Structure 1
Amino acid sequence: MTMTNTKRKSAILAAAVAATLALASCSGGGSGTTPTDVNPQGEIVPREISWLLSRPADGGVITAMKEIAADYATDHPGFSLNLITTPDRPSYIQKYETLAAANKLPELFDTDATPFAQKLATQERMINVDTLLKDLDLEKDFRPAALNYQRFDDGSLYMVPFEFQLETFWYNSELFKNAGIETPKTLDDFPQMCKDLREEGITPIALDGQDQWPLERYMAYYPFRMAGPEYITNLKNGKAKFSDPAGKAAAEWLYKLGESGCFQEGFSSTGYADAQALFTSGKAAVYNIGTWELGNLATEKLDAGVRDSVDYFTLPTIDGAVTEDNEYVTPSGIGMAINAKTYDPLVRDFLAFALKEYPEVYAGTGALSPTTTAETTIPAGATKLYTRAVEQAATVGASIAMPWDTQLDPATNTRLQQELTLLVQGDITPEEFITTMDASLAENNDD
């Protein structure tokens, strides 16, 4: 009798967690330190240190850090950096929280600025990154937006950013021209934009509905423009509701997007690659994605048939917006936390070396560095949009439209993603959506 896919995945995850627990229990030097004791005294004794990651194994961050760790090991025989990679985010979170509960986290571990991570910081289990960067004289090098994305609600910083991205709306100017429309100036222009494109037989917006977070981005846009970043902060802390004006406006806007046929038929079952292919093949007019896709959207990799027609615009505003036009989703990715329990002279010395070397190495891959000290290498075959996006990174505002999936508790977030699909499909009304979500929010805030 064979196991079901669900049971097989659970068994594999359990085995992975058990292996990581065993590995983590063997790691680490001293008895630990306090979060602000960032320069512990003692001998630097090379050993293996581990980093629990949630990043693509072949991505720029891991590639750069492997190179840097190898360089460090040249002068520190016996040192190695063990990368424990789990790119699948739900599986990673389960592993991370299991290790944290067992007090077996390795020296370094990935985390967003979630309520769970804040609990670890409150328990003095993470090094204060503000203090560390100041001690290393590196704080001034980082983009403020990159650091701010990693901060907790109280402004404290316990994660190091390794990326910086701009999320924009890529569009096909030829399809817009054929439909006789211009780029939307406000979010309220989206429904009519979609109707005009539909009349020309064009799919308005390509959406990866399978992974759910792309649609959740749309839920974040109207509240950000209407009430600022404070709305999601208050929502997750039980100080705001979905029935508040900003939440109600967002639900009604999304319902209109669905009514106007903004997304492709069957969007809820369309995956990341297929959604992107709809846009890059010229079958969809708009695609909302970040600069991590510059290599595919702004180089010769892009189909020659659409290459000259591709452009982008940033998040449109609304009438009476409280945020600026240059403020939108500018994430610095999942951050890296430093385990205070295993922090010692070696960990500090390696981080001092790595954080100084990293910007140049990472920017050399064509990516935007989280610092302003390294110039992004524009790859051969890049279009003018590549340079434009890189230059635009220097102009972003202070407020960030935070992705809601990194802010809400897991139960509320899962319910939100499910209800959003139903809302856009027209299976529920905005009023039903709001009632359900406020009940879910209240239930999970009581937990």
Structure 2
Amino acid sequence: MKLKKLTAVGLAAVMCVMAAGCGSNGETNDKKQENTQKTQEKESGDSTEQEELVINYVSARGETDAALKTLKKIAEMYKEDHPGFEFNVESIADRATYLQKIKILASSNELPDWFDADPEAFFEGICKKGIIYSVDDLYDELGLKDKFFDIALDYPKLSDGSNYLMTWQGNVEYFWYHTEMFEDAGITETPKTLTELLDACEKLKAAGYTPISAGNYDMIMRYPAFKAFRMAGNEFIDNARMGKEKFDSEVGIATAEYTQQITQYFSEGWTNSDATAQMDLFLNKGAAMLYTGTWDTPDLVNENKELKDDISTFRLPVDSDKDVTTENDYYANCGIGTAVLKDSMTPAMKDFIKFVWENFADMAMYEFDMLPSMMPSDPDKLPELTQQILKDLENCGTFAQCWDVRLDPSTNEVYRKELANLGMGESTPEEFCQRMDEAVAQYAPDYFDVE
């Protein structure tokens, strides 16, 4: 981010520095005193000069992403009264390419003013360097904290409970299903337990249907956590990712066994599919169920924002009466968040961010059909489905943590590979867990404070 004074004196000073190649050798004491006075005026808010604010934002969101489109429109609105303002966005939708870019920028101390991140190990390492502004402090300073859904404040927290990410979305994950296929297969009630989910899959398969459309690996990587979350909550992954608890344990083995059981009901070719193919298969009634989040709602509703045709939903089933989580605990999240460099957090930056949050919720909801991370105005006027989703978002007890976010990047690569081997029957649950433990032992010390 660059702050530039719109005065001839300021411009001349900048040109002088550029020509001399140094900051102060040619500066007189009078000039130093003048600049010091201007700095003090800016900080106190007494300066009548207008600042230019230029924000460089490297985003993991695609150009069609609703959150990004909302931010860009708000930036255009802000520019109307702040002619020197610029909001420059570099969009890198491919996640692997994006992460590689951020790692290169971080290693060379060239991170942009804004960049997207999950609360995972690599980002946590960046925060420990003290170069990212605390979002907890920012929200307190701007008087915004009580306006957000609780999950928008809790989901992006790091291991120590701190928060360095602004989150834009509010998402709940569901099983979406075709009611006609369920009825034809003799399934009269939606599954209430993970065992009943397997039973429903078997009935659908016997009736000639593909039970689950799978292809989006972000969603596929949820399945191993279903069992573990019910048996041990988030404590299992929090400990296992640092080697404090083994994947090769009662909970870990049960998780792997359940994963291997349910993947046999996935659509053909799931290891080489993608999110688009997964959605198309479901919408074209090539599969009975789809597990995904509410960011995909626009594909699943009609022009009246009602669920298409015979589609309905159910939340993550429980496991047994020994569960440590309840039916009111499930997957809900806020998507990837946005960090702001500490050096970029000037009064001008805070003014823009405050303007963003004054406009974001309603614009995201009513213009771009995206559930925001704070409640929009007039929620009672929203479609019934949207109201239910907002209610589920607001009432979620403990949200299940995404394993691919909690694991360090290197172990996560192993997780992705071994999940495919496990699901295809090329490894046993025991082998899966042993290889995960080996990966943690090899890579976790590079990211966490573990021996």
TM-score normalized by structure 1? 0.85
The answer to whether the aligner puts 1:334 opposite 2:336 as a matched pair is yes
Q: Paired residue for 2:436?
A: 437
Contact 2:414 2:436 in 1 (8 A): yes
For residues 23-172 of structure 1, the aligned pairs below 5 Å read: 27-29=1-3, 41=44, 45-172=51-178
* 2: CA distance, partners of 1:404 / 1:377: 35
Superposed displacement of residue 388, structure 1? 3.0
State which of 251, 254, 266 in structure 2 corresponds to 1:246: 251
Cα distance per residue 1:230-269 (max 9 Å; x no partner): 22111222212211222111101011224xx311122112
Change (3 A) 1:440 1:64: same
AA at the equivalent of 1:183: T
Consecutive unaligned residues of structure 1, counting only runs of 5 or more, are 1-26, 31-38
AA at the equivalent of 1:395: N
For residues 397-416 of structure 1, the aligned pairs below 5 Å read: 397=397, 399-416=398-415
Cα distance per residue 1:183-239 (max 9 Å; x no partner): 21111223222211111110000001xx52221110111111111112211122221
State which of 350, 355, 358 in structure 1 corresponds to 2:357: 355
AA at the equivalent of 2:327: D
* 2: CA distance, partners of 1:221 / 1:105: 36
Contact 1:311 1:385 in 2 (8 A): no
Q: Paired residue for 2:18?
A: none
Stretches of 4+ moved more than 6 A in 1? none
* 1: CA distance, partners of 2:124 / 2:66: 27
Superposed displacement of residue 377, structure 1? 9.5
Query: Aligned residues, how many?
Result: 404
State which of 167, 177, 183 in structure 1 corresponds to 2:183: 177
* 2: CA distance, partners of 1:362 / 1:180: 40
* 1: CA distance, partners of 2:153 / 2:65: 21
Superposed displacement of residue 317, structure 1? 0.5
Change (3 A) 1:78 1:314: same
State which of 264, 286, 289 in structure 2 corresponds to 1:283: 286
AA at the equivalent of 2:202: K
Superposed displacement of residue 115, structure 1? 1.6
Cα distance per residue 1:272-319 (max 9 Å; x no partner): 1221122111221110011111111122499x9x93321000000111
Change (3 A) 1:67 1:327: same
State which of 364, 370, 374 in structure 2 corresponds to 1:371: 374
AA at the equivalent of 2:429: P
* 2: CA distance, partners of 1:269 / 1:251: 21
Point out the structure with max Rg over C-alpha: 2
AA at the equivalent of 1:393: L
Contact 2:332 2:400 in 1 (8 A): yes
Change (3 A) 1:311 1:61: same
AA at the equivalent of 2:394: A
Change (3 A) 1:403 1:250: same
Cα distance per residue 1:360-389 (max 9 Å; x no partner): 21121222120124346988xx7x544433
Contact 1:363 1:375 in 2 (8 A): no
The answer to whether the aligner puts 1:195 opposite 2:202 as a matched pair is yes
Change (3 A) 1:28 1:178: same
* 2: CA distance, partners of 1:289 / 1:301: 21
Superposed displacement of residue 139, structure 1? 0.1
* 1: CA distance, partners of 2:392 / 2:282: 23
CA RMSD, aligned part only? 2.3
State which of 190, 193, 211 in structure 2 corresponds to 1:186: 193
For residues 228-243 of structure 1, the aligned pairs below 5 Å read: 228-243=233-248
AA at the equivalent of 2:441: A
Superposed displacement of residue 404, structure 1? 1.3
Superposed displacement of residue 393, structure 1? 2.6
TM-score normalized by structure 2? 0.85
Contact 2:210 2:287 in 1 (8 A): yes
Consecutive unaligned residues of structure 2, counting only runs of 5 or more, are 5-41, 447-451
AA at the equivalent of 1:132: L
* SS of equivalent residue, structure 1 residue 243: coil
* SS of equivalent residue, structure 1 residue 47: strand
* 1: CA distance, partners of 2:380 / 2:72: 19
Q: Paired residue for 2:424?
A: 425
Q: Paired residue for 1:204?
A: 211
AA at the equivalent of 2:338: M
* SS of equivalent residue, structure 2 residue 290: strand
Change (3 A) 1:429 1:403: same
* 2: CA distance, partners of 1:103 / 1:307: 48
Change (3 A) 1:41 1:239: farther
* 2: CA distance, partners of 1:183 / 1:128: 43
